Chain A
C-alpha cells in the first residue's frame, strides 16, 4: 500500500460481492422496467400490450392517435411558456430579495427571513382553496400567469441565492463601487455572474418541478388554452375516458420526452442541481 503516490486518484469505490452486484442489477431492472414497458407499449400495436413478442411490428400510430385526439401541441406550448415564465420571474424576484437579505441592513431581517422560509413548507398547492379564490379575484383563472405566479417568490430560490451572495467577498463590491457602479449595477456585474452555478442548479430544479407540477395547474385552469402538459395528460388519460392504452402510453411518453431527454443528456448537471438545492 506504500506504492500509491499521494496525488494519484484514490480508488474510492468499495469492492462489493458478486451477490450484491446481482442484487444491484436486479433492483435496477425492476426500477427501469415500468418505463421500458411504457416504451414497448407506445411503439407497438395495442394488442401487444399484454402479449409480449420480441418481433412484434413497430408502429408510430399510437403517437399519431394521441397527437390527433388531444391538443398536445398546445399543451407543449403552454408548458413551455409556463416554465420559461416561472423561471425568469423566480430569477428576478429571488435575486432582488436574496441581495437584500445578504447585503442590506433591513430592520428585523432575521425574522423576515424566517417568514420567507415558511414557504419551504407551506406551498401554494396546500392552500389550494384560498389561492384559487385569490387567483380568481385577480382575474388569473385559466391563465398561464395564474399557474405560475404563486411560485415566483420562491423561498428556495431566495435561500440558495442569499447563501451564494453571502460568500462573495465585499472587496469585489467595493472595487465596483469605486468604478462608479450603483447598487443595481453591482448586483448585475458582480453578484449575478459569480452566482451562475447557483442559477443553473436552481433553474434545473425549478424547470423539473414546474414541468411536472399538477394539482395547482389542474385547479386553476379549465380549458385547452392554458392547460400544461401534465393536466392535459391527466384529462386525456383518466381511466373513465376509455382511451386505448397504447395511445395513453404514447401520450405519456410525449409528455415526459423533453424533460427525460434533457435529463439523459445532462444527467450530471441534473443530479448536481438536486443535490445543491437539497443540501441546505
Chain B
C-alpha cells in the first residue's frame, strides 16, 4: 500500500508531535486524571484493593475547618496581593513613562525583585520581619513603639506574607503596562492637550480604558500566581502560626509529604485544578476575544 503525499504529511506531523505528546501525557494529563481518581477512592490497608467512596473525600474535606481556613487565606491572599500589585504596577509604569530624571535606574529598581527566586526574596524579608533583631521592629523601637510579631502573630502574619508578594510581583506587571503605554498613539495626548483636558480626566477617560486588555492579562497572571506560588511560605512561616498563612498548594504539600495523606492531598489538588479551570475559562473567553491570533 502506498501512502499519498497528504497521508505522509499527516504521519510526519504526528511523529513531530510525538515527544511533546508523550511528555505532556506523562506529566500533565495522566497525573490530572489519576489525581481526580484518587480523590474518589480510599486507599486500602496493607495492599488491600482501594475502595471507591464517591464524593465522600470531598465531604470530609468540606467538613474540615482547616481546609476552609486555608481556602479563605488563599482568597484573602489573592485579594490582598492582586489589586495592590496591579495598582502599584500601573503607577510605576506611569512614572517611568514620564519625563523622569534617572528613569533607567528607577525602572531597574522596580523590576529587579522580579528576577529573584521567591526563596531568596523570602530570606531577605526575613531580616525585616524577625521578632527581635528584624529591621522593622528595630525601627519601631527607635520610634518608641513596641515590636510587632510580623510572622508569629496570626492576625498580622498573612498581611506580612502579602506585603512581600506585592513587592516581588509589582515590577513584573509594570513592564506590561509600560509596553502598552509606549504603544499608545501620542496623538491622543496631543488632542486632549488641545482640548484642555486635565491629566486626571485623560487618565480615567482615555489611558485606563485603553489599558484594559493589559489589565486583564495581568489579572489572569496574578490569579495563577496566587494559587501557584507558595515558595516563600517555606522560609517565612511554614503556613503557621496555626495555619494563619497556609495556602492551598502548601496545604497539598503538607498533606502529601508531611502527613502522608495522599487522598486529602489529591482532593485539595482537584479543588486547585477547578480554580485554575475557572481562570483558564476567563482567559479564553474574555481575554482572547480582545486579542487577535493570526
Contacts and interface: CB of A to CB of B under 8 A. Distances in A.
Contacts of A214: 117-119, 231, 234
Interface string A89-127: 000111011011101111100001001101111111111
B252 interface: yes
B97 A219 contact: no
A127 B17 contact: no
Contacts of B234: 214-215, 218, 234, 238
A129 B235 contact: no
B194 to A, nearest CB: 10
B100 A24 contact: yes
B92 A93 contact: no
Nearest to B115: A263
B134 to A, nearest CB: 8
Nearest to B257: A219
Given A23-B95, A248-B123, A279-B179, A34 B117 contact: no
B127 A97 contact: no
A49 B159 CA distance: 24
Interface in B214-230: 217, 221, 224, 227-228, 230
B146 interface: no
Contact of A122 (B28, B98, B252): B28
Contacts of B23: 93, 149-150, 152-153
A241 B24 CA distance: 38
A255 interface: yes
B249 interface: yes
Interface stretch (A12-20, A55-63, A69-77, A195-203): A12-20
Contact of A127 (B20, B31, B99, B230): B31
B19 A153 contact: yes
Contacts of B175: 271, 274-275, 278
Contacts of A149: 23, 27
Nearest to A99: B16
B126 A130 contact: no
A16 B98 contact: yes
Given A37-B135, A49-B133, A126-B269, A12 B182 contact: yes
A25 B109 CA distance: 9
A132 B27 CA distance: 10
B98 A15 contact: yes
Contacts of A229: 117
Contacts of B241: none
A123 to B, nearest CB: 6
A32 to B, nearest CB: 4
A84 interface: no
B259 to A, nearest CB: 12
B140 interface: no
A134 interface: yes
Contacts of A93: 19-20, 23
The 5 closest A-B pairs by CB, nearest first: A104-B13, A130-B31, A16-B98, A153-B23, A212-B117
Interface of B: 6, 9-10, 12-14, 16-17, 19-24, 26-32, 34-35, 38, 88, 91-92, 94-103, 105-106, 108-121, 123-128, 133, 135, 138, 167, 170-172, 175-176, 179, 182, 186, 189, 217, 221, 224, 227-228, 230-231, 234-235, 249, 252-253, 256-257, 262, 265-266, 269, 272-273, 276-277, 279-280, 291, 293-294
30 contacts: A13-B100, A16-B94, A34-B121, A34-B167, A35-B113, A38-B124, A96-B20, A97-B19, A122-B273, A125-B228, A125-B249, A126-B273, A126-B276, A127-B31, A129-B252, A129-B262, A130-B30, A130-B35, A132-B256, A134-B26, A149-B23, A153-B23, A153-B27, A212-B119, A214-B117, A219-B253, A245-B133, A252-B124, A278-B221, A279-B217
Interface of A: 10, 12-16, 20-21, 23-25, 27-29, 31-32, 34-35, 37-38, 41, 49-50, 92-94, 96-97, 99-101, 103-107, 112, 115-116, 118-134, 149-150, 152-153, 155, 158, 163, 166-167, 183, 208, 211-215, 218-219, 229-230, 233-234, 237-239, 245, 248-249, 251-252, 255-256, 259-260, 263-264, 267, 270-271, 274-275, 278-280
